[in-house]
Amino acid sequence: MTGTLLVQAQDIVKRRLCGNSLPVQLFSNLQSAETDIYNLLKRTVEYAESNSLLIIGPKSCGKSTLIKKVVSRVKKNENATKNLLVVNLNGYMQTDDRIALDEITRQLQLENTIGDKVFGSFAETLSFLLQALRTGSNESQPILFLLEEFDLFAQHKNQTLLYNLFDIAQAGLTPLAVIGVTCRIDVMELLEKRVKSRFSHRQIFICNTWTFKEYVGAFKDCLQIKVEEKKKKAKWKIFLAKWNKNIDMLSEDLTVLEILEKQFLISQGLSGLQKLLMYPVWLLSNQHPLITPADIEESAKSLFADSKANILHGVSVLELCLIISMNHLMIIHDNQPFNFHMVYNEFLKFSQKKSHILHNYSKAVVLKAFEHLIELELLKTRDHSGIGISKIQKEYQPMVLLVENSQLLEAIGKYPGCPTDVKQWAQSSIV
Amino acid sequence: MSTVRKSSRNKEQVKKETAAQKTQPAAFDEESDVVYSWEKSSEITNSHEIKKFKSLINTDSKSLRLYRTIVLTNLDTSAHLKVSVGDGVHIASEDGDNDFYIARVEAMYASGPKSSDMSAIVSWYFKASEIPKSKLPKQLLPNEVFLCTAKAEMDVDAETIINKCHISNTPMQQNDEKTEKIYFCGKSFDGKRFKNIKEAQSGSPAPPPEKKETRREILKKSDYVVKTTMTSPVSASSVGMFDVSSAAMDILHNDDDSDAASFSDEENELEKPQLPTMMKSDEVKDVAPLKVDKRSLNVLSKKTLVVTMRKMNLATPPPDKENQPPDMVRRSSRLSDKKLVLPVKIQQTAKLSDYDSDDLSDDLNDIDAVSESSDDVTSEDDNGDDVTDEESDERLAKRPKRGKNMTSKARQLRQRNDVTSFVTKTRKKRSPHIQPRKTPLKAASSRFEKARENLHVSAVPDALPCRENEFQTIYSFIEGKISSGTGGCMYISGVPGTGKTATMTEVLSSLQRAVDDDGLEAFDYVEINGMRLTEPHQAYVSILKQLTGTKATADHAAQLLTKHFNQRGKKTTLLVVDELDLLWTKKQDVMYHIFDWPSHRHARLIVVAIANTMDLPERLMMNRVSSRLGLTRLSFLPYTFKQLQEIITTRLRGLEAFDADAVQLVARKVAAVSGDARRCLDVCRRAIEIAEKDKRSTKASASIEHVHTSLQEMFASPMVKLIRHSSTHEKIFLRSVVAEFRRSGLEEATVGLVLQHHVALAKLEGLPPPNVTSLIKVCNQLAASRVVLLETGRHDIYARIRLNVSVDDVLFALSDYAS
């Protein structure tokens, strides 16, 4: 029985973590913005007042959640449900105006008015849609255009779509509310001057203004389940009481708090927190019904892991030696590029004088190892433009190392069965 | 157009309509409540016909269904009136219940998914009272109407049909008593002069005179038949054949087998050759729908979905001699199918039997003009073509308005109707559109709401203040060119939001008024906007479409337009090109053409080009283009603060929603930045919103404080706020960037070097230094919001990084943190 209850609880939390369900209440930093946008949309719906608005804020500060929440709130109003048409566009999906226009036509269900005729050309689609929108008046149904990743729309040719949307919004034709969502602070500079002039310059900035205490509160909100959310069976209540108590305990656990703080210092956004919690929630099963601090620690380990140090665990001792010699070269030559022969000489110095473990590798074998490291992208050719590099013989191409000193030391410390000589060599460049 | 009208008026339905006309019950007057419904069985399903029809109304919608007959049911008397394609009708006018327009139904269709969206395509007729007395011909016959050959909207709501009438082509005798709903049409009127329809149709073949006698004989015969064949099996079967809605059809259908068989043979024979010749295709169409009718007949009888038109006719005895039972016509239509040449005449005679048969000998061409026969359709088509060829007269533009105003009448009718199943759609256009809203609009009530409405950029002010001089310049330029019949170019420049397009619109409406009142010569108006085109060459397509209504590819359109502007003897064309700079191409051929046309000898083209930049002709255009553009230039300077102040004050006149000081602050601030009127209005609107929300303020108007908040919101950069609220490591990263800049003395650094600083700074703060992957994540977060600019590509720690804010701003934002 606990099994099914657990699955239910897991389901609710999973939904939240994946952003499939809207929070009951928005965080305090979004609430004033919510009322503002709500009033704006309400005016569009009730008074046919056209508006344009930009929501700007850093990544994962809740911009999309905010707008989704507002739209769902507006739609609760019967007046709005009957009238408001919503067109959702995303800059990553509608990569040019042509695709965007087709999508708008589809979402407004205008394709029926001309039968199943497939639009011949971009020009036809544009004039068709403009005709549709420009023949409207106050009495037409209001339309909400939601442009996510607004900055990408500004990169379309001539900004035709934005110009026309803003122009219609300013011309008193079909009532439009154009709401752009973007994480680029400098988005206004992207707009062409005539587009900019037509934009109403309403901007709402959203920031994560919370303290660490509030962040821990958000952590609890993410996991805890209120009793009202599901059927009110006694067993469910008991289960939830247990579940919520465990979360309370977690939020007071020192290990958990330490991890949370580490995450908080890097990013205040919710998405980092959600990523952190996904692993422990997915791990739950009948044998393991409650989240433990160890689970979160495990998740944090993989989340904060250094990718390059991880890759270095998988390379051979020869390759590791090559990386060390490259590191030395970088330090000696103050980040100047090196080529294969320099690395080989450095490696020979070490293997001949110091090491007794390493065999005498032929040059060809070392070159092969070198190439393998290039494939792993632990080093790359120096030039930014890349022109002319391919003409140079492989052994003489200027290369730079992409591994930081700290990463290398961390990797060597964890490397299984690393020869002591190599370890010492890595720490001091003296041979 | 011509073909469609033909198709919608095939012989079979002509007969029907004649029948229906005669069953016109007296109970139908404009005062009673009327319910409109389709006669389901009259739906046209022949794909060929539908295709032709759709081209007429310029649509390709699948949901469109065509009908031949609409049934008007009077709620008071429960009498029915059938209006079919080809009938003359009274159409409600906006003037009042007692006035009406006369038109002839050309086609009827349902556009929506429900059968309630009924519309009709009509051709209009002028009543004598509608034409100015000065223009009326000297001789006026009683009840004479004139076919409208000027361009007018043909699409009306079916609900605006209030009654049926009869439009004849033969003049009536003075002593004819029943002339109330019978009109005579012998002339067409295009707003300027009258044309004899006979003349217009001189090309159509006139029936040989020797047939006159036969006609009259047939007439008499058919008259006789009407009275006697009510019970005859032949006519009964034919009723089943043609009047699908008849309740008796399932019974009758059994008797029909032999008839139907012979008929279908004929049908096959006819359907095979789809010849392009007019007559032949007519015949094909005539028969094809019958088959459909027959099929749907079976279905209908099973479903007992019947509109008992026939019963109605029998139940309500014909009010006068005219109302012959429909059987007569059906009988004759039956005949028509058997002998395909004959029926035309029978029909005509059936129709003409209402009048003095002596008139028959008058002129047989006259009969054609009535377009009661398929021959006539052809001839009237020619007429219709004349209409399209003729340039539309602006003075006659009141006609199309009529169609729109009709909706008010339709609404009245709707209000009186209590029938819930019937939903009125007040749509006129067949073009794509957004559905009308379902709940009523709220009206602005409070002072703030009204002020907000007035301050919206879309609000149209009564007059454009501060642009009087520019207005005058443009107006006199265009007016002069129009009245002298020459052409020319004008270039208008100005930064966005200085009222260029608004002034142009104002000029245009003034010109239009001048055309209406003072007899300025009418002109064609074409408008293109560079931003509404996908690429410069589409400008040709757009111009051609607005000018002639035809579509063509860009290259072809350019040729056609050049040809068009080389023709002599046409009206002046005013072409407004907005956002001219977007029409720039490498070869500049689009701009070249646009400015070259006015210099053609007979072009009579005035081009007004609008763009943002003042020096566009010098900077962007080749010499040969800018030379053609000429030196008539007008530049709209950005509004000064006084002008902006005036704009706001005029918009807010009568509403004390804004402090004078506050207005001045906005005006000064905006004038200092851009002089953009749009921006100015937006700031004010936002200020009013803030004032409305502000509960502390006791004053009921927006004060300086509110304006200040509004300006802050719109002009302030959020960068500092964003940096203040970023995470600890993001702040440290920014400090590291600054530190690296200081170290190297450059305004650019690579990520790797910044990371070293970051680790050191973090240790200084007593924080555990995060690893490289986490730090790259921090860097990416900052780059996503463009606080720093990061080189794209796979450069990893060698990616170059730059600040998007000044170093001072970063330090200022981090000052409280650093200290």
Cβ-Cβ contacts under 8 Å, A59 against chain B = 781, 784-785
How close, in Å, is residue A41 to chain B by CA atoms? Answer: 13
Cα–Cα distance measured from residue B672 to residue B668, given in angstroms and rounded to the nearest whole number: 6
How does residue A83 score in pLDDT terms, banded at 50, 70 and 90? confident
CA B189 to chain centre: 25
Which ipTM score applies to this complex? 0.92
pLDDT higher than 70, residue A21:
yes
pLDDT higher than 80, residue A182:
yes
Give the pLDDT score at B133: 65
Tokens of B208: 């040989």
**Degrees (nearest 5) of the Cα angle B533, B539, B542?**
90
How does residue B578 score in pLDDT terms, banded at 50, 70 and 90? very high
Helices B278-303 and B374-389 meet at what angle, rounded to 10?
110
Interface of A with B in 144-183 (CB under 8 A): 158, 160, 163-164, 167, 170-174, 183
Judging by beta carbons within 10 Å of its beta carbon (0-12, 13-18, 19+), is residue A351 exposed, middle or buried?
Answer: buried
Residue of B nearest to A129 (CA): B432
Residue contacts between A and B (CB atoms, under 8 Å):
234
The torsion angles phi and psi of B617, rounded to 5 degrees, stand at -60, -35
Cα–Cα distance measured from residue B680 to residue B458, given in angstroms and rounded to the nearest whole number: 13
Average pLDDT of span B675-704 = 83
The torsion angles phi and psi of B494, rounded to 5 degrees, stand at 160, 150
Please answer whether residues B452 and B487 qualify as being in contact, where contact means their C-beta atoms are separated by less than 8 angstroms: no
Taking all residues of chain A, what is their mean pLDDT, rounded to a whole number? 86
pLDDT higher than 70, residue B32:
no
Ordered DSSP codes for B324-361 = --HHHHHHHHHHHHHSSSTHHHHHHHHHHTTS-GGGGG
Report CA torsion sign: B541, B547, B552, B554.
negative
Q: For chain B, how far is it from start to end, CA to CA, in angstroms?
A: 82
Between residues B285 and B77, which one has the greater pLDDT? B77
A123 — contact with chain B (CB < 8 Å)? yes
pLDDT (tens digit per residue) in B482-500: 888 888 999 999 999 898 9
How close, in Å, is residue B60 to chain A by CA atoms? Answer: 5
Q: Do A115 and B535 touch (CB under 8 A)?
A: no
Residue type, B358: D
How close, in Å, is residue B472 to chain A by CA atoms? Answer: 24
Give the pLDDT score at B275: 36
Cα–Cα distance measured from residue A50 to residue B740, given in angstroms and rounded to the nearest whole number: 48
pLDDT higher than 90, residue B730:
yes
Q: Do B438 and A82 touch (CB under 8 A)?
A: yes
How close, in Å, is residue A69 to chain B by CA atoms? Answer: 21
How does residue B281 score in pLDDT terms, banded at 50, 70 and 90? very low
Cβ-Cβ contacts under 8 Å, B717 against chain A = 185
Between residues B146 and B693, which one has the greater pLDDT? B693
- Ramachandran class of B15: left when φ > 0, alpha when ψ lies in -120 to 50, beta otherwise: alpha
pLDDT (tens digit per residue) in A280-329: 999 998 888 889 999 999 999 998 888 888 889 889 989 999 999 999 99
Cβ-Cβ contacts under 8 Å, B785 against chain A = 57-59, 183-185
Give the pLDDT score at A78: 75
Cβ-Cβ contacts under 8 Å, A173 against chain B = 458
How does residue B705 score in pLDDT terms, banded at 50, 70 and 90? confident
How does residue A126 score in pLDDT terms, banded at 50, 70 and 90? confident
Ordered DSSP codes for A238-259 = HHHHHHHHHHHHHHH-HHHHHH
Lowest average pLDDT, out of A4-8, B10-14, B115-119, goes to: B10-14
Give the pLDDT score at B675: 87
Tokens of A95: 């990569």
pLDDT higher than 50, residue B702:
yes
Q: Do A267 and B434 touch (CB under 8 A)?
A: no
Interface of A with B in 254-283 (CB under 8 A): 262, 264-269
Q: Do A197 and B431 touch (CB under 8 A)?
A: no
Lowest average pLDDT, out of B51-55, B126-130, B236-240, B442-446, goes to: B236-240
Q: Do A407 and B431 touch (CB under 8 A)?
A: no
pLDDT higher than 90, residue B256:
no
How does residue A122 score in pLDDT terms, banded at 50, 70 and 90? confident
Query: What are the residues whose beta carbons fall under 8 Å from the beta carbon of B521, sequence distance 6 or more?
Result: B482, B483, B485, B515, B571, B572
Percent of chain A residues topping a pLDDT of 90 = 36
pLDDT higher than 60, residue B676:
yes
Cα–Cα distance measured from residue B456 to residue B472, given in angstroms and rounded to the nearest whole number: 26
Lowest average pLDDT, out of A152-156, A190-194, A307-311, B402-406, goes to: B402-406
Q: For chain A, how far is it from start to end, CA to CA, in angstroms?
A: 66
Report CA torsion sign: B345, B350, B354, B358.
positive
Least CB-CB distance to B725: which of A208, A304, A380? Answer: A208
**Residues forming a β-bridge with B790:** B801
Tokens of B315: 């139940």
Q: Do A267 and B777 touch (CB under 8 A)?
A: yes
How close, in Å, is residue A267 to chain B by CA atoms? Answer: 6
Top-confidence range, A27-31, A314-318, B274-278: A314-318
Average pLDDT of span B135-146 = 70
Ordered DSSP codes for B356-380 = -GGGGGT-HHHHHHTT-SHHHHHHH
A385 — contact with chain B (CB < 8 Å)? no
Between residues A295 and B396, which one has the greater pLDDT? A295
Please answer whether residues B161 and B172 qualify as being in contact, where contact means their C-beta atoms are separated by less than 8 angstroms: no
Residue type, B19: A
Least CB-CB distance to B439: which of A79, A97, A194? Answer: A79
Tokens of B372: 């009661």
B446 — contact with chain A (CB < 8 Å)? no
Interface of B with A in 622-681 (CB under 8 A): 674, 676, 678-679
pLDDT higher than 70, residue B269:
no
Write out the H or E segment, with its range, that includes residue A170.
Answer: helix A160-171
Ordered DSSP codes for B258-304 = HHHHHHHHHHHHHHS---SSHHHHHHHHHHHHHHHHHHHHHHHHHHT
pLDDT (tens digit per residue) in B540-565: 999 999 998 888 889 999 999 999 98
B728 — contact with chain A (CB < 8 Å)? yes
pLDDT higher than 60, residue B402:
no
B458 — contact with chain A (CB < 8 Å)? yes
Tokens of A150: 């607004």
How does residue B297 score in pLDDT terms, banded at 50, 70 and 90? very low
The torsion angles phi and psi of B188, rounded to 5 degrees, stand at -110, 155
> What SS3 state is found at A88?
strand
Taking all residues of chain B, what is their mean pLDDT, rounded to a whole number? 68
pLDDT higher than 80, residue B658:
yes
pLDDT higher than 80, residue B345:
no
pLDDT higher than 50, residue B602:
yes
pLDDT higher than 90, residue A37:
yes
Average pLDDT of span B661-667 = 90
> What SS3 state is found at A275?
helix
B585 — contact with chain A (CB < 8 Å)? no
pLDDT (tens digit per residue) in A136-179: 787 888 899 999 999 999 999 899 999 999 999 988 888 999 99
pLDDT (tens digit per residue) in B74-102: 666 667 777 777 778 777 765 555 567 78
pLDDT (tens digit per residue) in A326-344: 999 988 888 888 999 999 9
A212 — contact with chain B (CB < 8 Å)? no
Please answer whether residues A381 and A340 qualify as being in contact, where contact means their C-beta atoms are separated by less than 8 angstroms: no
Give the pLDDT score at B33: 57
Give the pLDDT score at B62: 59
DSSP letter, residue A338: B
How does residue B443 score in pLDDT terms, banded at 50, 70 and 90? confident
Q: Do A205 and B767 touch (CB under 8 A)?
A: no
Tokens of B10: 């095939």
Q: Alpha carbon of A245 to those of A160, A284, B344, B380: distances in Å?
A: 55, 16, 93, 88
Least CB-CB distance to A209: which of B435, B714, B725? Answer: B725
Query: What are the residues whose beta carbons fall under 8 Å from the beta carbon of A168, sequence distance 6 or more?
Result: A50, A133, A134, A174, A176
Between residues B215 and A288, which one has the greater pLDDT? A288
Give the pLDDT score at B789: 94
